[in-house]
Amino acid sequence: MTRFKSMFCGAIGIAAVILAGCQAPADSGGAAPGATASKSGKKFKVGISIPAADHGWTAGIKYWATEATKQNPDIEWTIQDAKEPGEQISQLENFQTQGVDALVILATESAPLTPIAKKLHDAGILIVNVDRGFTEPVADVFIEGDNKAFGRKSAEFIVQKLGGKGKIAVMEGIPCTVNTDRVNAAKAVFAAYPGIQIVAQGSGNWNRQKAEQVMQNMLISSPQIDAVWAADDDMALGVETALKAAGRDKNIWILGGGGMKDVVKRMIDKDPMFPGNITYPPQMIAFGIQTAAGMLRAGKDNAKKYVPRHVMIDVSLITPDNAKEFYFPDSIY
């Protein structure tokens, strides 16, 4: 796990390294001297609230959350996942009852989770929000991928590959700030090219089976589709299944997103169905966990002076030419 620790502990400068929870060697007791618990000697308690692993990217979130907690054994961690907003809200309320000092939250959906996040923050709990942002700035730290760049780079790739002219289908994700930023940024690019027509649009909820069903309906209503922007690799694979079942998997291609190893491998193999991809690392949850740990150790009120409230992680375009740089066969995702 040395590479894991160095990746997150060396990325944002010396002050953030200290606050991000990078620990001392094991023989020092597992954490920085004098910084393993509150002044009362109570062991810090942190809840991690994430969506259920219903597709590859969220499975990666669960994996990296578990790995990050192992790097901070001086803190009492509890990881809970939820299938829908109501379940997640109930879990967060229970975390408050348990007396947690901090919460790392990746919302199932943005809007329904905002009121409870605000309530918990107002109650004095440190809130680190990862990926799907709240609709109000209630988190102490918000860590996200650059979703506007995700949408813009996706659309630019599609326009370029189609030569500025073609009919496309757009597969959206779960309603949240991530999806909104991606779709709005992409549409801004498409709007500059009158030859690009969005002939079908629907939500696959970042789920393979749901995307397959939605794509089936799109194929019925749209006799011609040149490319599909799926914006997520699980949805992209669902789209592919629908295309093959309908016998329309020729002369069409899909742009997903997330950098799933199976899709990246197909790019390496020059599969025409997947000519491009956009990175979106699930490791960002580990960054959030390290940030929460470090802020508690430093004293959360003091730490807020040094930790940026908003951290944005860049995304990269993957093509067959550079796909080997983004292929990690041993990865969970």
Compute the distance between CA of residue 271 and CA of residue 236 in angstroms, rounded to an integer.
14
pLDDT digits (tens, 9 = 90+) for 227-263: 999 999 999 999 999 999 999 999 999 999 999 999 9
Q: What pLDDT does 162 receive?
A: 98
Q: What pLDDT does 41 receive?
A: 66
Residue that the structure tokens 């918000």 belong to = 142
- Answer for the pair 254, 280: CB distance below 8 angstroms, yes or no: no
Q: Which two tokens stand for residue 174?
A: 């779960």
Contacts of 226 (CB under 8 A, 6+ apart): 162, 166, 167, 168, 251, 252
Compute the distance between CA of residue 298 and CA of residue 277 in angstroms, rounded to an integer.
39
Compute the distance between CA of residue 203 and CA of residue 207 in angstroms, rounded to an integer.
9
Amino acid sitting at position 32? A
Q: What pLDDT does 52 receive?
A: 94
DSSP label at 226? S
pLDDT digits (tens, 9 = 90+) for 155-169: 999 999 999 999 999
Compute the distance between CA of residue 109 and CA of residue 174 in angstroms, rounded to an integer.
7
Compute the distance between CA of residue 106 and CA of residue 133 in angstroms, rounded to an integer.
8
Query: Which own/partner pairs from 87-90 qualify as long-range (CB within 8 Å, at least 24 positions apart)?
Result: 88/49, 88/51, 88/113, 89/113, 89/116
Compute the distance between CA of residue 301 and CA of residue 161 in angstroms, rounded to an integer.
50
Q: Which helix (H) or strand (E) holds 95?
A: helix 85-97
Q: What pLDDT does 37 receive?
A: 58
DSSP label at 129? E
- Comparing CA positions, the residue from 154, 157, 134, 156 lying closest to residue 144 is 134
Q: Which residues of the chain have pLDDT under 70?
A: 1-41
Q: What pLDDT does 18 receive?
A: 37
- Answer for the pair 12, 314: CB distance below 8 angstroms, yes or no: no
Q: Which two tokens stand for residue 268?
A: 């390496």
Compute the distance between CA of residue 323 and CA of residue 277 in angstroms, rounded to an integer.
9
Q: Which two tokens stand for residue 203?
A: 């939500």
Q: What pLDDT does 34 receive?
A: 35
The CA-atom distances, in angstroms, between 49 and each of 54, 90, 143, 295 are: 15, 11, 15, 18
Looking at the DSSP bridge assignments, the partners of residue 228 are 169, 254
E-state strands within the chain = 45-51, 76-82, 102-105, 126-130, 141-145, 166-172, 196-203, 227-229, 253-255, 277-278, 310-313, 317-318
Q: What pLDDT does 115 receive?
A: 98
DSSP per residue over 299-317, as a string?
-HHHHTTTS-SEEEE---E
DSSP label at 106? -
Q: How many CB atoms lie within 10 A of CB 123?
A: 8
Q: How many CB atoms lie within 10 A of CB 142?
A: 21
Q: What pLDDT does 279 receive?
A: 96
